[in-house]
Amino acid sequence: MDCAQAGGPWFQSATEETAPYTAVASVRKKEMLLLRFCADYILIFQGKHGKILNQMSQIQLIFFQEALRCKEPFGPDWQRSVTNVQFGGLYHTMYQHLIKRLIDFTLSLAGILILAIPMLLFALVVKLDSPGPVLFWQKRVGIHKKTFMMPKFRTMYTNTPANMPTHLLSDPQKWITRSGAWFRRLSIDELPQILCILTGKMSVIGPRPALWNQDDLIAERDKYGANGVRPGLTGWAQINGRDELEIPVKARLDGEYVQNLSFLFDCRCFFGTIGKVLKHDGVVEGGTGVLQEEKEPVHR
Protein backbone atom coordinates (compact mmCIF):
# COMPACT_ATOMS: atom_id res chain seq x y z
CA MET A 1 0.00 0.00 0.00
CA ASP A 2 1.44 3.34 -1.06
CA CYS A 3 1.66 5.77 1.83
CA ALA A 4 0.83 8.80 -0.28
CA GLN A 5 -2.43 7.26 -1.52
CA ALA A 6 -3.66 5.78 1.74
CA GLY A 7 -6.50 7.46 3.54
CA GLY A 8 -7.79 7.41 7.08
CA PRO A 9 -6.55 8.74 10.42
CA TRP A 10 -2.92 9.55 11.14
CA PHE A 11 -0.83 9.65 14.26
CA GLN A 12 1.26 12.73 14.78
CA SER A 13 4.42 12.76 16.83
CA ALA A 14 4.05 14.79 20.01
CA THR A 15 7.24 16.60 19.03
CA GLU A 16 6.06 17.57 15.53
CA GLU A 17 3.61 20.34 14.61
CA THR A 18 2.92 19.37 11.01
CA ALA A 19 1.91 16.21 9.21
CA PRO A 20 1.02 15.46 5.58
CA TYR A 21 -2.58 14.79 6.59
CA THR A 22 -4.79 15.82 9.47
CA ALA A 23 -3.66 14.16 12.67
CA VAL A 24 -6.50 12.88 14.82
CA ALA A 25 -4.41 12.25 17.94
CA SER A 26 -0.90 12.54 19.28
CA VAL A 27 1.20 9.50 20.14
CA ARG A 28 0.32 9.91 23.81
CA LYS A 29 -3.38 9.49 22.97
CA LYS A 30 -2.95 6.52 20.67
CA GLU A 31 -4.67 4.06 23.00
CA MET A 32 -7.85 6.15 22.97
CA LEU A 33 -7.59 6.46 19.20
CA LEU A 34 -7.57 2.69 18.80
CA LEU A 35 -10.62 2.32 20.99
CA ARG A 36 -12.43 4.98 18.98
CA PHE A 37 -11.62 3.85 15.46
CA CYS A 38 -10.90 0.12 15.90
CA ALA A 39 -8.39 0.60 13.12
CA ASP A 40 -7.43 -2.20 10.75
CA TYR A 41 -4.37 -0.33 9.50
CA ILE A 42 -2.33 2.46 11.01
CA LEU A 43 0.30 4.39 9.13
CA ILE A 44 2.97 5.80 11.40
CA PHE A 45 5.19 8.61 10.28
CA GLN A 46 8.29 8.29 12.40
CA GLY A 47 9.77 11.66 13.33
CA LYS A 48 13.44 12.45 13.50
CA HIS A 49 13.65 11.33 17.13
CA GLY A 50 12.83 7.74 16.15
CA LYS A 51 10.57 6.90 19.08
CA ILE A 52 7.11 6.32 17.62
CA LEU A 53 7.38 2.68 16.58
CA ASN A 54 9.00 1.75 19.88
CA GLN A 55 6.10 3.44 21.71
CA MET A 56 3.61 1.65 19.49
CA SER A 57 4.98 -1.71 20.58
CA GLN A 58 4.10 -0.93 24.20
CA ILE A 59 0.31 -0.79 23.69
CA GLN A 60 -2.15 -3.66 23.48
CA LEU A 61 -2.31 -4.43 19.75
CA ILE A 62 -5.87 -5.75 19.71
CA PHE A 63 -7.78 -3.69 17.19
CA PHE A 64 -5.59 -3.85 14.11
CA GLN A 65 -3.77 -6.40 12.05
CA GLU A 66 -0.84 -4.46 10.63
CA ALA A 67 1.30 -1.50 11.53
CA LEU A 68 3.27 0.13 8.77
CA ARG A 69 6.13 2.55 8.89
CA CYS A 70 5.97 4.73 5.81
CA LYS A 71 8.72 4.40 3.20
CA GLU A 72 8.58 7.93 1.83
CA PRO A 73 9.25 11.23 3.63
CA PHE A 74 6.69 14.05 3.54
CA GLY A 75 8.85 17.02 4.39
CA PRO A 76 12.21 17.57 6.08
CA ASP A 77 11.17 16.21 9.46
CA TRP A 78 9.85 12.88 8.25
CA GLN A 79 12.31 10.04 8.15
CA ARG A 80 12.59 7.51 5.35
CA SER A 81 12.43 4.03 6.81
CA VAL A 82 11.43 0.50 6.91
CA THR A 83 8.84 -1.97 5.89
CA ASN A 84 5.96 -4.09 7.06
CA VAL A 85 5.46 -5.36 10.62
CA GLN A 86 2.75 -7.95 11.08
CA PHE A 87 0.65 -8.33 14.19
CA GLY A 88 -1.88 -11.04 14.95
CA GLY A 89 -4.69 -9.13 16.58
CA LEU A 90 -6.25 -10.31 19.80
CA TYR A 91 -4.51 -13.71 19.86
CA HIS A 92 -1.10 -12.13 19.28
CA THR A 93 -1.65 -9.72 22.15
CA MET A 94 -3.00 -12.30 24.57
CA TYR A 95 -0.19 -14.71 23.77
CA GLN A 96 2.65 -12.19 24.03
CA HIS A 97 1.48 -10.39 27.17
CA LEU A 98 -0.34 -13.13 29.08
CA ILE A 99 0.11 -16.71 27.89
CA LYS A 100 3.78 -16.41 26.93
CA ARG A 101 4.64 -14.69 30.20
CA LEU A 102 2.83 -17.41 32.17
CA ILE A 103 4.73 -20.10 30.25
CA ASP A 104 8.02 -18.27 30.87
CA PHE A 105 7.35 -17.97 34.59
CA THR A 106 6.34 -21.63 34.91
CA LEU A 107 9.29 -22.97 32.92
CA SER A 108 11.85 -20.76 34.65
CA LEU A 109 10.58 -21.66 38.11
CA ALA A 110 10.63 -25.36 37.23
CA GLY A 111 14.08 -24.93 35.70
CA ILE A 112 15.48 -23.36 38.85
CA LEU A 113 14.09 -26.16 41.02
CA ILE A 114 15.31 -28.94 38.71
CA LEU A 115 18.70 -27.43 37.86
CA ALA A 116 19.61 -25.96 41.25
CA ILE A 117 22.06 -28.73 42.20
CA PRO A 118 23.63 -29.07 38.71
CA MET A 119 24.09 -25.30 38.56
CA LEU A 120 25.87 -25.35 41.91
CA LEU A 121 28.21 -28.02 40.53
CA PHE A 122 28.81 -25.93 37.39
CA ALA A 123 29.60 -22.95 39.60
CA LEU A 124 32.14 -25.05 41.50
CA VAL A 125 33.77 -26.12 38.22
CA VAL A 126 34.12 -22.47 37.14
CA LYS A 127 35.64 -21.52 40.49
CA LEU A 128 38.17 -24.35 40.47
CA ASP A 129 39.12 -23.88 36.83
CA SER A 130 40.37 -20.27 36.95
CA PRO A 131 40.54 -17.31 39.35
CA GLY A 132 37.65 -14.89 39.31
CA PRO A 133 33.90 -14.71 39.88
CA VAL A 134 31.56 -17.56 38.99
CA LEU A 135 29.16 -15.34 37.07
CA PHE A 136 29.87 -12.88 34.29
CA TRP A 137 27.45 -9.93 34.24
CA GLN A 138 26.99 -7.86 31.13
CA LYS A 139 24.74 -4.94 30.19
CA ARG A 140 22.22 -6.01 27.57
CA VAL A 141 19.27 -4.42 25.78
CA GLY A 142 15.83 -5.65 26.79
CA ILE A 143 12.26 -4.97 25.72
CA HIS A 144 11.66 -1.41 24.47
CA LYS A 145 15.45 -0.95 24.52
CA LYS A 146 15.66 -0.80 28.32
CA THR A 147 19.01 -2.12 29.52
CA PHE A 148 19.47 -4.79 32.18
CA MET A 149 22.33 -6.86 33.59
CA MET A 150 22.40 -10.39 32.17
CA PRO A 151 24.36 -13.19 33.91
CA LYS A 152 26.26 -16.10 32.42
CA PHE A 153 28.63 -18.63 33.89
CA ARG A 154 32.06 -17.14 33.32
CA THR A 155 33.77 -18.94 30.44
CA MET A 156 36.69 -16.57 29.83
CA TYR A 157 39.62 -15.28 31.85
CA THR A 158 39.11 -12.08 33.81
CA ASN A 159 41.57 -10.08 31.71
CA THR A 160 39.56 -10.62 28.51
CA PRO A 161 38.69 -7.37 26.66
CA ALA A 162 35.26 -6.29 27.87
CA ASN A 163 32.02 -5.55 26.02
CA MET A 164 33.03 -7.31 22.82
CA PRO A 165 31.49 -10.40 21.21
CA THR A 166 33.85 -13.35 21.36
CA HIS A 167 34.11 -13.76 17.59
CA LEU A 168 35.43 -10.18 17.27
CA LEU A 169 38.44 -10.88 19.50
CA SER A 170 41.77 -11.28 17.69
CA ASP A 171 42.31 -14.81 19.06
CA PRO A 172 39.14 -15.97 20.88
CA GLN A 173 40.45 -19.38 21.93
CA LYS A 174 43.26 -18.01 24.06
CA TRP A 175 40.73 -16.19 26.27
CA ILE A 176 38.40 -19.15 26.86
CA THR A 177 38.94 -21.31 29.95
CA ARG A 178 39.05 -25.10 29.82
CA SER A 179 35.61 -25.46 31.36
CA GLY A 180 34.38 -22.50 29.32
CA ALA A 181 34.90 -24.31 26.01
CA TRP A 182 32.77 -27.20 27.24
CA PHE A 183 30.14 -24.90 28.74
CA ARG A 184 29.82 -22.98 25.49
CA ARG A 185 29.57 -26.09 23.38
CA LEU A 186 26.58 -27.29 25.41
CA SER A 187 25.20 -23.77 26.10
CA ILE A 188 25.58 -24.40 29.84
CA ASP A 189 26.92 -20.88 30.32
CA GLU A 190 23.47 -19.48 29.48
CA LEU A 191 21.66 -21.25 32.35
CA PRO A 192 21.87 -18.38 34.91
CA GLN A 193 19.65 -16.36 32.57
CA ILE A 194 16.75 -18.42 33.91
CA LEU A 195 16.69 -15.82 36.71
CA CYS A 196 16.09 -13.08 34.13
CA ILE A 197 13.22 -15.09 32.67
CA LEU A 198 11.67 -15.56 36.10
CA THR A 199 11.78 -11.81 36.79
CA GLY A 200 10.36 -10.88 33.39
CA LYS A 201 13.45 -9.27 31.87
CA MET A 202 13.77 -12.10 29.34
CA SER A 203 11.71 -14.85 27.76
CA VAL A 204 12.58 -18.45 26.99
CA ILE A 205 12.21 -17.71 23.27
CA GLY A 206 12.92 -14.37 21.63
CA PRO A 207 15.64 -12.34 19.90
CA ARG A 208 18.90 -12.66 21.82
CA PRO A 209 19.52 -9.50 23.87
CA ALA A 210 21.96 -7.22 22.09
CA LEU A 211 25.02 -5.83 23.81
CA TRP A 212 24.37 -2.30 25.06
CA ASN A 213 26.89 -0.95 22.53
CA GLN A 214 25.69 -2.83 19.44
CA ASP A 215 24.03 0.22 17.94
CA ASP A 216 23.91 -1.24 14.45
CA LEU A 217 22.00 -4.34 15.57
CA ILE A 218 19.64 -2.31 17.74
CA ALA A 219 18.89 0.07 14.86
CA GLU A 220 18.30 -2.78 12.42
CA ARG A 221 15.92 -4.46 14.86
CA ASP A 222 13.95 -1.22 15.09
CA LYS A 223 13.07 -1.68 11.43
CA TYR A 224 11.27 -4.91 12.21
CA GLY A 225 9.80 -4.10 15.63
CA ALA A 226 12.11 -6.69 17.21
CA ASN A 227 13.01 -4.36 20.10
CA GLY A 228 9.37 -4.43 21.18
CA VAL A 229 9.42 -8.01 22.48
CA ARG A 230 11.28 -9.57 25.39
CA PRO A 231 14.70 -10.93 24.44
CA GLY A 232 15.09 -14.66 24.76
CA LEU A 233 17.38 -17.38 25.99
CA THR A 234 17.35 -18.61 22.41
CA GLY A 235 15.56 -17.56 19.26
CA TRP A 236 14.84 -17.99 15.58
CA ALA A 237 18.04 -16.25 14.47
CA GLN A 238 20.19 -18.38 16.77
CA ILE A 239 19.05 -21.69 15.32
CA ASN A 240 19.44 -20.38 11.76
CA GLY A 241 22.91 -18.88 11.86
CA ARG A 242 26.26 -18.79 13.53
CA ASP A 243 28.69 -16.05 14.53
CA GLU A 244 29.30 -15.12 10.90
CA LEU A 245 25.66 -14.03 10.52
CA GLU A 246 25.59 -10.44 9.30
CA ILE A 247 23.65 -7.82 11.27
CA PRO A 248 20.97 -7.18 8.56
CA VAL A 249 20.33 -10.92 8.21
CA LYS A 250 20.16 -11.45 11.95
CA ALA A 251 17.75 -8.52 12.37
CA ARG A 252 15.58 -9.82 9.52
CA LEU A 253 15.36 -13.23 11.23
CA ASP A 254 14.44 -11.49 14.48
CA GLY A 255 11.75 -9.68 12.51
CA GLU A 256 10.47 -12.99 11.16
CA TYR A 257 10.15 -14.18 14.75
CA VAL A 258 8.07 -11.11 15.67
CA GLN A 259 5.86 -11.59 12.61
CA ASN A 260 5.26 -15.27 13.39
CA LEU A 261 5.08 -14.96 17.18
CA SER A 262 2.88 -17.78 18.42
CA PHE A 263 2.94 -20.80 20.69
CA LEU A 264 3.69 -23.17 17.79
CA PHE A 265 6.52 -20.99 16.50
CA ASP A 266 8.02 -20.77 19.99
CA CYS A 267 7.85 -24.58 20.18
CA ARG A 268 9.66 -24.76 16.85
CA CYS A 269 12.44 -22.54 18.20
CA PHE A 270 12.59 -24.44 21.49
CA PHE A 271 12.96 -27.90 19.94
CA GLY A 272 15.26 -26.51 17.27
CA THR A 273 17.54 -25.33 20.07
CA ILE A 274 17.50 -28.75 21.71
CA GLY A 275 18.48 -30.29 18.38
CA LYS A 276 21.38 -27.86 18.07
CA VAL A 277 22.64 -28.66 21.55
CA LEU A 278 22.34 -32.43 21.06
CA LYS A 279 24.39 -32.10 17.89
CA HIS A 280 26.98 -30.16 19.91
CA ASP A 281 26.33 -27.28 17.55
CA GLY A 282 25.69 -24.86 20.37
CA VAL A 283 23.42 -21.85 20.18
CA VAL A 284 25.35 -18.72 19.35
CA GLU A 285 24.38 -15.10 19.37
CA GLY A 286 25.71 -14.29 15.94
CA GLY A 287 26.03 -10.89 14.38
CA THR A 288 29.02 -8.99 13.24
CA GLY A 289 29.10 -5.27 13.53
CA VAL A 290 30.65 -2.12 14.87
CA LEU A 291 30.64 -1.51 18.60
CA GLN A 292 30.78 1.69 20.58
CA GLU A 293 33.94 2.42 22.51
CA GLU A 294 34.26 0.31 25.63
CA LYS A 295 33.28 2.21 28.73
CA GLU A 296 33.16 -0.27 31.56
CA PRO A 297 35.21 -3.39 32.30
CA VAL A 298 33.22 -6.55 32.83
CA HIS A 299 34.67 -9.98 33.57
CA ARG A 300 33.33 -12.85 31.60
Q: For residue 20, is pLDDT > 60?
A: no
The rounded distance, in Å, linking the Cα atoms of 287 and 298 is 20
> Which pLDDT score is estimated for 240?
86
Q: With pLDDT > 70 as the criterion, what percentage of the chain qualifies?
A: 59
Q: In a 3-state reduction of DSSP, which class is residue 288?
A: strand
Q: Which residue has the higher pLDDT, 279 or 131?
A: 131
CA-wise closest residue to 258 among 220, 287, 288: 220
> Which pLDDT score is estimated for 69?
40
> Which pLDDT score is estimated for 296?
43
Most confident listed range (31-45, 46-60, 228-242): 228-242
Angle, helices 263-278/100-129, rounded to nearest 10 degrees? 20
| pLDDT per residue as tens digits for the range 51-65 | 555 554 444 443 333
The rounded distance, in Å, linking the Cα atoms of 34 and 107 is 34
| pLDDT per residue as tens digits for the range 237-267 | 988 875 567 899 999 999 999 988 899 999 9
Cα dihedral sign, 71-72-75-79: positive
Q: How far is CA 147 from its chain centroid? A: 11
> Which pLDDT score is estimated for 289?
43
Mean pLDDT of the chain: 73
The rounded distance, in Å, linking the Cα atoms of 257 and 252 is 9
| pLDDT per residue as tens digits for the range 102-121 | 999 999 999 999 999 999 99
Cα dihedral sign, 2-58-86-8: negative
DSSP 1: -
The stretch 25-46 carries a mean pLDDT of: 50
